[in-house]
Structure 1
């Protein structure tokens, strides 16, 4: 956004030079100003598109983290009564639980890498 030259107030209060001969404004002055306004609009459009992309990416990440949290909660709910479920589960705890569950369920399909004794 550092490339933006004009604020809406700058555009509103812009005064063009009048021609010394004849009536009207200096065409080069008006054209130069409009060229700069167009560049600003291009910069704004690019920034809006970038922010929209980032917003979508972050929304997808939040959705994925919520799914992971739900998986972690369902694993915690399925734990035996003798093991208390801690409500302040960290993301690392959830990932460890998910990894252990994947090893138990898919261990034989993942290939033997010497961890089969952990199953």
Structure 2
């Protein structure tokens, strides 16, 4: 029984790197405060995001609806790149036109096992608030 448990645990450890999700790395294109806010939102750093938005403007609702990151609202940007803590925080202050439009859909994904050499896929995203 211990042998079976050890074998199962070993197999799961070997498979886990190949099943890892994509990791996003955000790089600021310029040094503007808006771009720094976008990077904080994309990195899912909720405390830093709250601090930067508070320093940028005391009206969080206005800031959330005015700042665009890579051509989309900051809330849509957070959602697109899986920064769900930032998204949850920002969505409370976001106007309807800037929110993520959830449409019911069915998606079928084919999963395949691939060898990534033990490294997670890292995608670099250049971020600009302009």
Q: Normalization by structure 1: what TM-score?
A: 0.24
Larger proportion of helix: 1
Q: Normalization by structure 2: what TM-score?
A: 0.22
Which of the pair has the greater relative contact order for Cα pairs under 8 Å at 6+ separation?
2
